Structure 1
Amino acid sequence: MAARPNPNFNNLRPGDYLFTRMAKETAVWKAANPGVRLLSLGIGDTSGPLVPSVIKGMNRAVKRQSKQRSYTGYGDATGHESLKKKIVERYARLGVKVDISEIFISDGAKGDTANITKIFHPKSRIAVEDPAYPVYLDANVINGMVGKFNEKTGEFARVHYMRLLKKNGFVPEPPPIKKKIDIIFICRPNNPTGAVFTREDWETFLNYCELTGARLIVDSAYAIFIDDDGIPKSPLEISGAEKYIIEICSFSKDHAFTGERIGFTTISHKFTLEGTAEGEVAEKYWKRYKDTFTNGPANIAQCGAEAGSTVEGMLESWELLISPVKENFADIASTLSEMGFPVYGSAPYAWVDVSPYGSWEFQYKVRDEAHVICTPGEGFGRSGRRYARFSAFGTRRDVKTALKSVKENLALNV
């Protein structure tokens, strides 16, 4: 018999990955409309540039790599110890005690998010927020954990969908206990809705985990945008959370590292699965995965992340990268609200109710009439069918230009 493909790929939802589809359609539109500038408030890509501290750190690393005596090749698959120390300090500022051996540096959060379920039993049942970042679902389709896709319902057979709706403030309820869910994916601040979890919201899910034995995979890629002292910046700030939560973080938004690719995953020694001892999940399972599947992230990029994690680097990032995004968000929310659209969320994403339009219909309308790209909410799940996500990433000038065009050129039926 000839070699056969992985049949799980046939279970993926019809069509391309959301942002691949958007990129293809945008390319076709540009080819058909030469000379027309298309501005993007769609994908959550940073517009840079890298801050001075990061550049200095990377330049120092390049110089070291240019000399025989200081050159380094393969490193620890779990990352530089010096960068881990900076992450330990980052947690300490939140009142969270983390050991260096509990931190695993990655080439960005996406890969770890897609692969983390490899340390769980292959028959585990998962729950995801709806709408949600597509990777949580698609990666586990490929991993064979979600069952068949039902064309009529638009859902996978072995997945529980936690609806994020206006009536619940885009904050989900834990799955019913009878569902026997093993793994729950949570993204806070949420992509795409921008909603956050209060301490009480985290405690609700932690109580559920204690009662049922479920575990949380938390994507904290956007935590840098939380500036309310009453909102936890990490779920590990909650007492006892380390027993139930794996936290996946990214430097992509903190330091405009979407191209440099550095993130980290934190697994406490107290995090256990059925039949494992303390420390075993981190050391035997996830570290072994890292040692087998990766050689660690790029040395030079890690040095840049370390430099960006100094006090000087963080202040530069806040002033030059984070604050402009928050200002962009305020402009987006103000403009669209004035146009009659209900706007929800927080920086960097405005979650906009575009009723009576469908989300793809609205995305095409904004593109064709205003020459601006936004992201259709349905691409994140069924609960996003009447919403669009507007990204606040972009230069202040481009965002202002895009909003001016939307306000002046969009013919509305709101």
Structure 2
Amino acid sequence: MVEINSCFQHLKRTYIFSLIEEKIDTLCKKISPNQIINLSIGDIALPVIPSAVQAMSQAVLEMGTSSGLKGYGPSNGYLFLREAIANTHFTTLQITPDEIFISDGINTDITNILDVFSPSCSVGVPDPTYPAYLDATILSGRTKIMTLPCLEANQFHPYPPSKACDLIYLCSPNNPTGVAMSRDLLTTWINYALKHKAVILFDHAYEAFISSVDVPHSIFEIPGAKECAIEFRSFSKSAGFTGLRCSYTVLPKALRAHYEDQEVSLHALWHRRQTAKSNGVAYPIQKGALATLQPQGQSEIKAQIHSYLAQAKALKQGLIKSGLDCYGGMDSPYIWVKTPKKKTSWEFFDELLIKCHVISIPGVGFGKYGEGFVRFSAFTTPDKIDLALQRINQL
């Protein structure tokens, strides 16, 4: 008799997006969907940059010729893209192309990375944060889970626990709070990991949005990080690739873990894992990603990022004028908003939806410490932000 993976029964958290859709469907029976402003989505609102579109189109045409035929690509990605990433983002950090693995999204790698670690490892997960970290940990059968509270009292930063933890998920700039970790705080985490022989799983999806001078653009800027950290980056939000799917994992060869009385290369294990379970990312997609790293592509990307950050600033300022306490929005497209009058996340969500026809995301969907907050996203257009603020000001 076939049995299911019983770990699915331990996923206690409700999938909030289905509940949100139900509430929106109910509202749409009373008003036109065009009246609803979606400030919840963590997806792009601008087209893929022209440089990438041209490169991908050319790559497809190339594959339609005998001389340009491409079959299965390398499981770790084409060398041309890995070299470009190393030369563009890690020039001074001595990260080599061999330490970069191309994949179809951060969500894929940051959950699958658990494959190379023992099920007995304890896992530290910030709260609130991206739900995939906790869900993947539970589905992998791990039960030693340590919560790292990100509270208003500690500026929504996770701090090292008093006891040892083997694997630590960190996200900076954080989703959903929009708060980025400073160089000093990341140094504290690196020192903790080195002391306890832990590994930091560093989600850096929103690196392109960083503008604060004290926030590193890579965890490998911190001394010792190559011996205790893995960095995950994406083209999704920086280059508009959410519908194309391309990201990469940086796993230094210096990173080791233990098996019985031996030290084992995590780089070698991940490479073995990828050759077994991945056929790589499509050639045209990687050509498009390459175009985003060229001077013209970088210029086009920066223009889009500047637009999103300007919208985040306008949204945050407008919400503050409405009397709401707001966080984030400086190094991130997300605004973390405290609910007024001690309302729950869902109560404020409902009020915004019913009275303002504005969609947010209840903070409790990102963890129990997200209760009392909602998340707004600046992945939209300026006219929609202006209209949403007009409605919210009337509450």
Same fold (TM over 0.5): yes
Alignment match, 1:75: 73
- Partner amino acid for 1:314? Q
Shift in CA distance, 160/71, structure 1 to aligned 2, threshold 3 Å: same
Alignment match, 2:371: 385
Distance 2:361 2:287 in 1: 33
Alignment match, 2:14: 15
Shift in CA distance, 20/110, structure 1 to aligned 2, threshold 3 Å: farther
Alignment match, 1:149: none
Alignment match, 2:300: 316
Q: Tell me, yes or no, if structure 1 residue 326 matches structure 2 residue 309.
A: yes
- Partner amino acid for 2:385? V
- Partner amino acid for 1:173? Y
SS of structure 2 residue aligned to 1:274: strand
Q: TM-score, normalised by structure 1?
A: 0.91
Alignment match, 1:151: none
Fraction of identical pairs, as percent:
32
Distance 1:198 1:396 in 2: 29
Distance 2:281 2:45 in 1: 22
Equivalent of residue 25 in structure 2, options 19, 24, 27: 27
CA contact (8 A) 1:91 1:98 kept: no
Query: How do 1:122-161 and structure 2 match up within 5 A?
Result: 122-146=119-143, 158-161=144-147
Shift in CA distance, 231/277, structure 1 to aligned 2, threshold 3 Å: same
| Number of residue-to-residue matches in the alignment | 390
Shift in CA distance, 265/23, structure 1 to aligned 2, threshold 3 Å: farther
Equivalent of residue 50 in structure 1, options 45, 48, 65: 48
Equivalent of residue 119 in structure 1, options 109, 116, 119: 116
Distance 1:329 1:22 in 2: 22
Please say which of residues 258-267 and 285-294 is displaced more in the overlay: 285-294
CA contact (8 A) 1:19 1:43 kept: no
Alignment match, 1:339: 322
SS of structure 2 residue aligned to 1:190: coil
Residue 398 of structure 1, CA deviation: 2.3
Residue 199 of structure 1, CA deviation: 1.4
Distance 2:194 2:224 in 1: 10
CA contact (8 A) 2:121 2:167 kept: yes
1:274-330 C-alpha deviation (Å, 9 max, x unpaired):
14547x2112x11111111110012211111110111210111111x2011111111
Q: TM-score, normalised by structure 2?
A: 0.95
SS of structure 2 residue aligned to 1:383: helix
Query: How do 1:92-241 and structure 2 match up within 5 A?
Result: 92-93=90-91, 95-146=92-143, 158-177=144-163, 180-241=164-225
Runs of 4+ aligned structure 1 residues displaced above 6 Å come to: none
Equivalent of residue 366 in structure 1, options 352, 368, 378: 352
1:135-168 C-alpha deviation (Å, 9 max, x unpaired):
000111111113xxxxxxxxxxx32111111211
Equivalent of residue 60 in structure 2, options 43, 62, 66: 62
1:158-184 C-alpha deviation (Å, 9 max, x unpaired):
32111111211111210122xx31100
Alignment match, 1:154: none
CA contact (8 A) 1:357 1:386 kept: yes
Shift in CA distance, 405/132, structure 1 to aligned 2, threshold 3 Å: same
Q: CA RMSD in A?
A: 1.5
Equivalent of residue 257 in structure 1, options 216, 219, 241: 241
Where structure 2 has 5 or more consecutive residues not aligned to the other structure, the ranges are: none
Q: Tell me, yes or no, if structure 1 residue 85 matches structure 2 residue 86.
A: no
Please say which of residues 353-362 and 215-224 is displaced more in the overlay: 353-362
CA contact (8 A) 1:91 1:97 kept: no
Shift in CA distance, 80/25, structure 1 to aligned 2, threshold 3 Å: farther
- Partner amino acid for 2:218? S
